[in-house]
Amino acid sequence: MANLMPIASWTATDVQHFARRTGFGITPQSAAQVATRLPGPFIDEWIDGYSTAAMEGVLAERGDVVPVAFIAKLTVGEDVPAVVGDHGFLITGNDAWRNRISYAQAEWFFRMQYSPNQFQERLAVFWHVFFATAFEKVDSAILMKQQIDVFRSNGLGNFTDLLVSVSKDAAMTKWLDCVQNDATTNQIPNENYAREVLELFSLGVDNGYSQEDILSLAKALSGWSFYVHPSDWSQHPGNISDPSAGQPKRTIFTVYQGQGVPAGSRQWDYLFPHNNSLRKMHPSGASDATGGSATISFLGTTFDYSSALTGMAPGEHVLRHITVARPIQCSEFLSKRFLNHFVTPNYTAQDVSDFALVIRNNNFHIGTALKILFKSQYFFETDKRYCLINSPVSWMVQATRMLGFPLGVANAMNPRGFPAWRLLISEDANYDFNFLRGLSFALLNPLGPNGWADHDAWINPNTLRWRNYFASALALIERANANTMDFAIVPSDISQWLPHGGPTALDIYNQLIDLLQPAPIPTPVRDGWLSMLFGSTSTPISSGTLTSFEPKIRELVFLILICPQGQAH
Amino acid sequence: MSQLTRRDFIQSALAGSVGLAGLTACGGGSSSSSEIGGTGGGGTGGGGSVINPILVVVNIDGGWDWLNVTPPISGANRMAYEAQRPTAKITNAVDIGSGVGLNPDFTGMDTLHGLGKIAWIMGLSMPNPNLSHFTASDLWSQGGTVGSSPVSLNGSGWLGRYADTAFSATNAIQGISALSSNPRMITGLQRNFIPLNANPSLTLMSGLRNYERGLRPPYESDLALLKNAYNLGFSTPTNDVSSRSAIETISAQEKSLYDAAVSLGGLTLRTPSVTYPTDLPINGEFFDQLKLVSTLIASNLPIQVYYCRLSGWDTHSNQSTAMRVLLRALGGGLKAFYQDLATINTPLGNAQDRVMIMTWSEFGRRLTENSGGTDHGTNSLSLCIGKNVKGGFYGEYPALNNPDLYGNMRYMSTSDYRQLYATVLDRWLNLAPSTTNNILGANYARFNFL
């Protein structure tokens, strides 16, 4: 039985556990401050979120250590001309046409590193893994970003509302072929999305539905697509003759039923619709429904899928029936995913059932249910500490948060103190690496709609070597230069890490452990490392001599990050 | 060219181990010695004739529409096919025998078929398919017995269990994944495949940009120290109870990395003796994987199994365009790779003699097309390609005029996908039949392409 009663008090160690799991970690100093507060109100605050205005302000102007003009020097063959200002990854508004996945990835990493609303980003990653959608087919960085924005804005609400929002999301409609799902006269519906809704996005494989239910849901969601208003189009300036060369600044969800749209609007494939009206793909009644009937049976209930209930899109009432008809299956499916991602890979069937009940009792309101989970005795139990293997994304973000510069400091530096995320993860052909792929976590570009498995699926000899390389870039201060500018690709300053200086190698080690928060490292490893690097655990190192020990201190950080304990959280 | 009927196939399967002389293939070209429907009965013979064989697995990921790769060209199957695929049907297939056509976009396969180097294992099926990619992939990967689950097999794949049986404990590099991870099929319980992300060099420690360069000054002079310290980290057991399981998992993988880097560090990609396709609107990852494999074969490392993948076959929409590109990539890539092998000689022999390619895809697609593509279906087609393969048709072409309630091909015990594994394990990888049966949990009839 999972003890889901709330904890009454906590320590700085508990706070760090909480922040690692529901965010990307906080420093020991911050944890000590938070520990003086009651856990309940703090956890509510953390989940509800903080203002991101300062971060948004910086991001609007600048998001990378390297000015974009210098990036252009680094990327031979780059087809994206420099923009006014010093931004490395603009993909929104009038810049939507730039359409580079590496920009969208870099933008997300910047947010994960600097947003004070850590949980929002952490939950967005969770939902991205859950509703995995890939740039590879969507072919739009802006649509991918807008899907992640759906997770940011709706990720804590009612699950059915989230499922509906995702089903109306432009990237998803392209990814799983809803845009080509036609259930009108003589057409065979495309069941791709309907299958994955039941199998991956709500119930789990073979968990309370049949092939007939898939076909019924496919009919209900036929024609779910979008169009682009003429004023919402960002045309590629280098290819103005091709009407489809560009990207939408925003899209408008609609169900294709043959209706008219403003002149110059583009349909989902970005080509102009014939006669300014959209194709009919969702029937208006039995007469134009595939097979001559708009009546379907879905999860044991009969519906007219051609109709629309007030305030809903045609067919939406069918989609909303999943949590009504299969509350236990859906809540248990969600419960497993939440427990495995946030709490433990060693959950029991009873744990799943217990948290599923919480989800149902709170009417599938995710935020309310997660607050109960994150405040619970269960979440803070000793056997939940460091039992999960960190994903490469949260591992990297946690490391850069702990070792990098705070936002204000980074933004005031010259060159800026931001990591060169854009360069690190570039998809440009001229780089022979893409380290997110090497890490088996190509954010925004999963191999399939099943996303990624958590925990031990992150770890193999290949992903570990890429972790080694990233840890090296960060801890061993890898540098690059362009256009006479020399910069650290992941900037850091060791004096920040060690507010107390020494006085011995062991004290240095202990401060770094507090900062980086690995699982407990065996004493023989600690002593062996300190002996190899400093001669012994008691070698004197003071604030005044830190600089002379910098390479060894950085090597120690490198080892902590890449040792087995450094990958657990 | 007469069409091979479902009945013929069943009869040939029933004939089993006594051989099928009366059903000598009409496909396979002049040099083919192929047999049709040749299931060779249970694992009593066993034992391949190739010494130091190499298996290259190619995953056709996403469920390929093999009906449009090798469509029926005559008879009742053709009628059913045309009726269900009014716009998606292939009309220019080339007759390759036994009522089977070959989509001309599958470039290079006509040549290899003509040389008798392709065994087409038709209609491979599983009991009670649920049309899910992930369930089907899991079952194909596990190769377990009917009713087994990932739990009962501890998440291992059939080639992972082969590795547990056949790989030595002291050699870190005997199985290679050309991907960034190890899929379930090659996941074992005791032995590890090394994923190389299509790059032969496995450097343990390096900077991130230009990562083959190693560490920069002043850190490069401490490389030996850092390696020793890393080794100390993963080889020291933890006594922390809550993290132990995770730490042990990571430590084992770090050890694999450490050991493999000793042999693979600094290895550079070999220039192929052939040209891979360059005119396709597709990234070259698949070709890079094959180039990696040929590089490692040429390096004469004791690697027995390689795993590659070409994704993108989930053609719910835009099928005609997507399939054309994918088939050209798959066919062109495999043919180039096969030809390249002929130029690789090591102390263990010529690579073309030692290599067999085995493809697999989790399912075929629905017989009935939707508007622009095809949805998930059942039954698959595998190819085994190699100089020592007896080319021709094996298994059973499904009866397309007798689909199930939802329009899918039916399970055929004469074309069970695990028969393919049983054949590969003891007739290519030289396991004793009893060991093969143990790995698969049952004694499946073998096909006679080896």
Provide the ipTM: 0.95
Q: Do B243 and A520 touch (CB under 8 A)?
A: yes
**pLDDT number for residue A68:** 61
Mark A463-493 as b/e (b = at least 16 C-beta within 10 Å). Answer: bbbbbbbbbbbbbbbbebebeeeebbbbbbe
Vertex B390 angle, CA B387 and B393, to 5°: 130
Instruction: Answer yes or no: do A450 and B134 touch at CB < 8 A.
Output: yes
Smallest CA–CA distance, residue A568 to chain B, in Å, is 7
Question: Is the confidence at residue A545, as pLDDT, over 70?
Answer: yes
Whole-angstrom Cα distance, residue A90 to residue A75? 16
pLDDT over 70 percentage in chain B = 86
| pLDDT(A328) > 90 | yes
What is the structure's pLDDT at A429? 40
Q: What's the mean pLDDT in B347-357?
A: 97
Q: Is residue A78 over pLDDT 60? A: no
Residue B17 above 50 pLDDT?
A: no
Contact B256 A461 (CB under 8 A): yes
Mean pLDDT across B27-48: 41
Enumerate the β-bridge partners of residue B393: B120
Residue A258 has pLDDT above 90, yes or no: yes
In terms of pLDDT, which residue wins out, A238 or A227? A227
Interatomic CA distance for residues A304 and A544, integer angstroms? 77
pLDDT of residue A548: 94
Tokens 């989790």 -> residue: B362
The residue type found at A365 is H
Separation between Cα atoms, residue A248 and residue A304, nearest integer Å: 33
Tokens of B57: 């697995």
* Of residues B206, B233, B316, nearest to A177 (C-beta): B316
Nearest Cβ partner of B238 from A188, A433, A522?
A522
Determine the 3-state secondary structure of A233 from DSSP.
Answer: strand
Q: How far is CA A436 from the centre of its chain?
A: 13
Specify the DSSP element, H or E, that contains A435.
Answer: helix A435-438
**CB atoms A385 and B261 under 8 Å:** no
What phi and psi values does residue A6 have, to the nearest 5 degrees? -75, 150
Interchain pair B180, A462: CB under 8 A: yes
By Cβ distance, the residue of B209, B238, B375 closest to A191 is B375
Closest residue in chain B to residue A197, using alpha carbons only = B132
Amino acid code (one letter) for A383: D
Q: Please, which pLDDT band fits residue A524 given cuts at 50, 70 and 90?
A: very high
pLDDT of B20 reads: 27
Q: What is the pTM of this model?
A: 0.92
B309-332 in b/e form (b: 16+ CB < 10 A) is bbbbbbbbbebeebbeebbbbbbb
pLDDT over 70, % of chain A: 94
**Residue B107's pLDDT band (boundaries 50, 70, 90)?**
very high
Helix (H, G, I), strand (E, B) or coil at B9: helix
- pLDDT, one tens digit per residue, over B112-160 is 999 999 999 999 999 889 999 998 999 999 997 544 444 456 678 999 9
For A40, other C-beta atoms within 10 Å of its C-beta total 14
Q: How close is the nearest chain A Cα to the Cα of B258, in Å?
A: 8
Please compute, for residue A480, the number of CA atoms within 13 A of its CA located in the half-sphere on the CB side. 22
Tokens encoding B416: 């069970």
- Suggest the residue from A71, A462, A464, A466 to mutate for an interface test with chain B (most B CBs closer than 10 A): A462
Choose among A214, A184, A215, A217: nearest CA to A292: A184
Residues A513-533 have a mean pLDDT of 98
Contacts of A476 in chain B (CB under 8 A): 207, 215-216, 219
Question: B284, B292, B297: which is closest to B328 by C-alpha?
Answer: B284
Three-state SS at A89:
coil
B-facing residues of A in 483-512 (CB < 8 A) are 489
pLDDT in tens, A471-513: 999 999 998 876 677 889 899 999 999 988 879 999 999 999 9
A355: Cβ contacts below 8 Å, ≥ 6 apart: A2, A4, A335, A338, A339, A369, A373
Q: Which residues contact A161 (CB under 8 A, 6 or more apart)?
A: A154
Give contacts of A520 with chain B, Cβ < 8 Å.
238, 240, 243
pLDDT value, residue A175? 97
Whether residue A77 has pLDDT greater than 50: no
Q: What is the 3-state secondary structure (H, E, C) of A463-487?
A: HHHHHHHHHHHHHCCCEEEECCEEE
Cα–Cα distance between A505 and A507 in angstroms, integer? 5
Question: Which amino acid makes up residue B265?
Answer: G
Question: Which residues of chain A have a CB within 8 Å of the CB of B220?
Answer: none
Which residues in chain A have Cβ-Cβ distances shorter than 8 Å to B260?
A: 461
Better pLDDT: B10 or A218: A218
The pLDDT of residue A99 is 86
CA distances from A219 to A195, B79, B314, B434 (A): 12, 28, 20, 50
Q: Which residue has the tokens 């996005």?
A: A201
Asked if residues B53 and B356 have their Cβ atoms less than 8 Å apart, the reply is yes
Which pair of structure tokens corresponds to residue A252? 């408008």
Contact B218 A551 (CB under 8 A): yes
Cβ contacts below 8 Å, chain A against chain B, sum to 230
| Contact with chain B for residue A68, Cβ under 8 A | no
* Contact A523/B at CB under 8 A: no
Give, in order, the Cα–Cα distances in Å from B185 to each of A171, A454, B181.
Answer: 31, 18, 11
Does A172 contact chain B (CB < 8 Å)?
no
| B203, closest residue in chain A (CA to CA) | A465
Cβ-Cβ contacts under 8 Å, B229 against chain A: 528-529, 532-533, 555, 559
The closest alpha carbon to A62, from A311, A305, A339, A408, belongs to A408
> Residue A72: which pLDDT band, with cuts at 50, 70 and 90?
low
Nearest CA in chain B to A519: B243
CA atoms within 13 Å, Cβ hemisphere of A371: 18
Q: Which of B226, B233, B375 lies closest to A190 in CB terms?
A: B375
Task: Tell me what percent of the residues of chain B surpass a pLDDT of 90.
Answer: 75
pLDDT digits (tens, 9 = 90+) for B370-404: 989 999 999 999 999 999 999 999 999 999 999 99
Q: State residue B61 phi and psi, 5-degree precision.
A: -90, 130
3-state secondary structure at position B104: coil
Residues of chain A in contact with residue B186, where contact means CB-CB under 8 angstroms, are none
Q: Please check whether residue A213 touches B, CB under 8 A.
A: no
Question: Cβ distance B257 to B265 under 8 Å?
Answer: no
DSSP-based three-state secondary structure for B54: strand
Looking at beta carbons, which residues of chain A come within 8 Å of B202? 461-462, 465
Average pLDDT over residues A103-120: 94
Residues from chain B that touch A200, judged by Cβ atoms under 8 A, are 134
Query: A180, B222: Cβ pair inside 8 Å?
Result: no
Nearest-5° Cα angle at B223, B219 to B225: 110
pLDDT above 90 (res A85): no
Strand partners, B56: B306, B357
> Which of B132, B216, B406 has its CB closest to that of A478?
B216
Nearest to B317 among A177, A464, A468 (CB): A177
Residue B248 burial (C-beta neighbours within 10 Å; 0-12, 13-18, 19+): middle
In one letter, which amino acid is A359?
I
What local confidence, expressed as pLDDT, does residue A88 receive?
A: 61
Q: What is the mean pLDDT of chain B?
A: 87
pLDDT over 70 (residue A455): yes
Distance CA A467, CA A459 (A): 10
Residue A174 touches chain B, beta carbons under 8 Å: no
Cβ contacts (< 8 Å) between B245 and chain A: which residues? Answer: 346, 387
Pick B236's closest partner by Cβ from A182, A435, A522: A522
Chain B contact for A199, CB < 8 A?
Answer: yes
**Residue in B closest to A187 by C-alpha:** B371
* Interface contact A472-B241, CB threshold 8 A: no
Q: Compare all CA atoms of chain B with the CA of A212 and give the residue at the minimum distance.
A: B406
Cβ proximity of A156 and A187 under 8 Å: no
Residue A191: closest CA among B282, B131, B419, B135: B131
Which chain A residues are closer than 8 Å to B133 by Cβ? Answer: 448, 450
The more confident residue out of A237 and A159 is A159
Q: Give A-chain residues touching B313 at CB under 8 angstroms.
A: none
User: A184 and A286 in contact (C-beta within 8 Å)?
Assistant: no
Would an 8 Å CB–CB cutoff place A467 in contact with chain B? no
Euclidean distance between the first and the last CA atom of chain A, given in angstroms as a whole number: 24
Tell me the pLDDT tens digit for each residue of B280-294. 998 889 999 999 999
CB contact under 8 A, A187 and B243: no
For residues A142 and A514, give the distance between their C-alpha atoms in angstroms, rounded to a whole number.
Answer: 39
pLDDT digits (tens, 9 = 90+) for B312-327: 999 999 999 999 999 9
**Contact at 8 Å (CB) between A463 and B180?**
yes
Nearby residues of A534 by Cβ (< 8 Å), 6 or more positions away: A505, A541, A549, A552
DSSP A28-71: HHHHHHHTTS-HHHHHHHHHH----HHHHHHHHHB-SSS-HHHH
Give me the percent of chain A exceeding a pLDDT of 90: 81
Residue A280 bridge partners (DSSP): A257
